[in-house]
Structure 1
Amino acid sequence: MSTAAKITAPKGTVDILPAEAAKWQTVERIARETAAVFNFGEIRTPIFEHTELFHRGVGEGSDVVSKETYTFNDRGVPPTSVTLRPEGTAGVVRAAIENGLLNDQGARSKVYYIGPNFRYERPQKGRLRQHHQFGAEAFGVAEPDQDVECILLQMEFYRRCGVRDLELQVNSLGDRESKARYRDALVAYLSPKKDALSEDSQRRLEANPLRILDSKDPRDQEACKGAPPAAESLSDKSRAHFDRVQKLLTASAVPFRVNPNLVRGFDYYTETLWEVTAGGLGAQNAIGGGGRYDNLVEQLGGRPTPGVGFGSGLERLLLALEGQGVTLPLPPKKLVWLIAHGDAARDHNWKLLGDLRQAGVVADMDASGRSVKAQFKQADREQATHCIVVGEDELASGTVKLKDSATRTEVSVPRADVVQKLS
């Protein structure tokens, strides 16, 4: 036995084993199919970017940038600071600018992505240091109709996955000027209560006061009672935008609730914000959210281009499904296991195994030369739906025995026909 110490996975990460991976594959397939129906194309960006991207995009004052990023220098001379992506939007915007997707006046682009993000925070159930998101971003349309299309895509994804007990909450921070007015009003309201705030929110009061509204600390929640709502600071244009969002959601038969305290953790959000919660998750019940970011493309060096999008945590989604007792529609497993009586049959089965796989049949066999009894036991452990048995008699007659594992029935099939019969 080895005396070497075991190496474990880093804190806040988990291994997705084959039994669980099937659920992930199903959720990812549903995400891709839903995005395609809404005419969103897939984009894949690097998992690390230049650190400046997140400082300029997400914001210096956000908790993500100030506390949670995995940032390090690469091996270049001089070294360059890079950061594992903490969220998907900034990288997608960078890719859209760099690759000319938004160069032309009036250009539109609708993309989605599926992949891991990284944040150094206290691991919780469904909130890991490496977590995975399905997200979508739409560029080039400033109208509230585009906000609602993104919301509908997100809600349709959840519907197809079978999530129940969903609540959509919406709010508006307004345009750049409205958001600035709201920030000033909030600072004016909370400044006299600064000593009553948590240590984090005392810092946020200067750097990112809107985040105080999202705090779970009871001291902050008490201090925020009676705070002016964002709606009081909205310009006429922003108010009309948000009214249109609500009208379209109602026309689309999507229930929602206006939550005046709803904010998002990133500085780039303007106008419409939303968050979706689900039953089965306890107090931390958010499974995804999004919003509009009309200034971000310009902020990252591109042509002024409106944008809107969302991100949905896949770990949270799977936990919600589990908590609600929802079974994902996994594809039925059909596995054919080849059993060999003797070395000659084993050689025969290697050729048959290749023929089955080329025909698209999921097939396997024991590669260690174990006894027939052990081969059958392995087929049971692997939950094979059929067994093909070959021995001296089958080799002589050019047949195989095909056994149905569920019914335990067995028939003799010509070797030349068995591949077609199982395809």
Structure 2
Amino acid sequence: MEKIQAIRGMHDILPDRTPRWQYVESVVRRIMASYGYEEIRLPLLEKTELFKRSIGEVTDIVEKEMYTFEDRNGDSLTLRPEGTAGCLRACMEHGLLYNRINRLWYSGPMFRHERPQKGRYRQFHQVGVEVYGIDTPDIDVELILLSSRLWRELGIAHKLELQINTLGTAAERLVYRNKLVQYFRTHYEKLDEDSRRRLETNPLRILDSKNPEMRELIQAAPVLADDLGEESRNHFQRLKELLDEAGISYVVNPTLVRGLDYYSRTVFEWVTDELGAQGTVCAGGRYDGLIEQLGGKGSAATGFALGMERLIELLESPEKLDAAARPHAYLIRVGGEAERRGAALAEALRDALPNLRLVVNCGGGSFKSQFKRADKSGAAVALILGEDEVRDQLIGVKHLRTEEGQRTLAQSELIPFLQTLI
């Protein structure tokens, strides 16, 4: 019978790699709390209409990439391709949007049917941050400061560059869109296939093309800044001033656009040159018009999302994180009485030392085979409990990662000894 394998582009995260995920998740959780952001947990499935309204029906995501199906009631459902729309839906549904400010964050898997490659998967994991009810640029800056602190805590700040831009209001963008379409149509023969398709649906995305043959044409295109009104210009200017005051380095990238239709004014990306073509690690900006687009009363909104897979790829020496999660000790039990007394001893040690990582041998086995298991577990020491040790209230200790010799301790000395390993 043929073995069933994982779906292409959907990867298992095996136990020898989960420590680095747990580490990043713990840092994220701590930093979110330090800035006063509350966690919200959202369903993986939403009504398809939610994403059609928010992302836009003529986007690559909706047209080509969503996992959509009809359930038994005939309703069209979609595995979430991004988190912002679902977060807004939840806040609207539960009355969280009005007469209050929300600072929220969430994490979990997203789904897009893309061509799998390094840093881009069909099931991928994101951390998303959303703020509702603040329309001033200081909250945009707070999001950038929060993400910058995360990079520093993870030791990867030197690998990332902040790029910023403004997309103005929807009305300003419409004027610019018309200019852009006219410009690219006069150079239609120079456009690649993707850009020709986007010219009719989402021409701003042409500016985001990674095709090097398009670079010169894009650089000569009209610039959105020329069509911005005073309010949008002031918003962007204040954003830059606040970043300067905070000591955050940035590059203004006039070709930076976001792939989703709902963005306005501030957009930003943290990018790296260490992940090949998938260089964007974190991206976000303002989307003040999205709430109305989903049928709610207009309100300011801004946020970002970061890709966990790409972030973890950037960690320095992640194998040290994997090693740090290995057991401190492995308890070998030889003989019937040792098996009976060993479980109680292990529970007593866990009670006394809540941070102790202790594996107890189960399933029997000879002394030699249990030693092999202890070594394979990655534990720092093997604790040896045989019939003699049970009788005399002793415990054998064998260091598995150093050259120290084996010794015997009184069981009353075990807790102070294990404290030195934690």
TM-score normalised to the size of structure 1? 0.93
- 5 Å-filtered alignment, 1:377-388, equals 377-388=372-383
> What is the alpha-carbon distance in structure 1 between the residues aligned to residue 393 and residue 219 of structure 2?
82
Letter of the 1:268 counterpart: Y
CA distance in 2, matches of 1:403, 1:218: 60
Q: Check 1:265–1:179 CA distance in 2 against 1; reply closer, same or farther (3 A cut).
A: same
Look up the match of 2:350.
Answer: 357
Alpha-carbon separation, structure 2, partners of 1:342 and 1:219: 73
Report the residue type matching 1:137 in the other structure: E
CA-CA distance at 1:103 after TM superposition: 2.6
- Of 189-198 and 225-234, the range deviating more from structure 2: 189-198
Q: Is the 8 A contact 2:54 2:293 kept in 1?
A: yes
Task: Determine which of 96, 111, 136 is the counterpart of 1:101.
Answer: 96
Q: How far apart, CA to CA, are the structure 2 residues paired with 1:290 and 1:393?
A: 64
Quote the Cα distance in structure 2 between the aligned partners of 1:321 and 1:332: 16
Q: Cα deviation per residue 1:361-380 (whole Å; 9 max; x = unaligned)?
A: 32223222211011111111
The sequence identity of aligned pairs, in percent, is 43
Q: What are the within-5 Å matches in structure 2 for residues 1-400 of structure 1?
A: 4-76=1-73, 79-104=74-99, 107-163=100-156, 164-218=158-212, 220-321=214-315, 331=324, 333-359=326-352, 360=354, 361-400=356-395
* Aligned-partner Cα distance in 2 for 1:328–1:252: 32
CA shift for structure 1 position 383:
1.5
Q: What code does the residue aligned with 1:399 have?
A: L
Give the unaligned 5+ runs of structure 1: none
In the TM superposition, residue 34 of structure 1 has moved relative to its aligned partner by 1.3
Instruction: Go from structure 1 to structure 2 and tell me whether the alpha carbon gap of 1:68 and 1:58 turns closer, same or farther (over 3 Å shift).
Output: same
The one-letter amino acid paired with 2:302 is V
Distance, in Å, in 1 between the alignment partners of 2:307 and 2:61 is: 16
Aligned residues: 414
Q: Is the 8 A contact 2:326 2:377 kept in 1?
A: no
Q: CA deviation at 1:410?
A: 4.2
By how many angstroms is 1:332 displaced?
5.6
Amino acid at match of 2:250: F
Q: Distance in 2 between matches of 1:332 and 1:362?
A: 8
Tell me if the contact between 1:356 and 1:362 (Cα under 8 Å) persists in the aligned partners: no
State the distance in 1 between where 2:173 and 2:153 align.
Answer: 35
Q: TM-score, normalised by structure 2?
A: 0.93
Checking the alignment, whether the CA contact within 8 Å between 1:287 and 1:313 is kept in structure 2 is yes
Question: What are the ranges of 5 or more consecutive residues in structure 2 without an aligned counterpart?
Answer: none
User: Does the 8 Å CA contact 2:166/2:266 hold for their aligned counterparts?
Assistant: yes
> For the structure 1 residues 401 and 329, does the alpha-carbon distance in structure 2 shift closer, same or farther, using more than 3 Å as the test?
closer
Q: How far has the Cα of 1:223 moved from its partner?
A: 3.7
Runs of 4 or more off by more than 4 Å in structure 1?
325-332
CA contact (8 A) 1:71 1:82 kept: yes
Alpha-carbon distance in structure 1 between the residues aligned to 2:319 and 2:207: 36
CA contact (8 A) 1:113 1:136 kept: yes
Is this contact kept in 2: 1:270–1:294, CA < 8 A? yes
Between 220-229 and 411-420, the greater mean CA deviation after superposition: 411-420
Contact 2:327 2:359 in 1 (8 A): no
- Contact 1:400 / 1:413 at 8 angstroms: preserved in 2? yes
Is 2:272–2:281's contact at 8 Å kept on the other side of the alignment?
Answer: yes
Distance 1:328 1:75, change over 3 A: farther
CA distance in 2, matches of 1:239, 1:69: 36
1:264 and 1:84 map into 2 onto residues whose CA distance is 21
Distance change in 2, residues 1:289/1:207 (3 Å):
same
- Distance in 2 separating the partners of 1:141 and 1:301: 19
2: distance between equivalents of 1:121 and 1:95? 27
> Residues 327 and 146 (structure 1 numbering): CA distance in 2 closer, same or farther, change over 3 Å?
farther
* 8 Å CA contact retained: 1:195, 1:202: no
CA RMSD of aligned residues (A): 1.9
Q: Letter of the 1:59 partner, please give it.
A: G
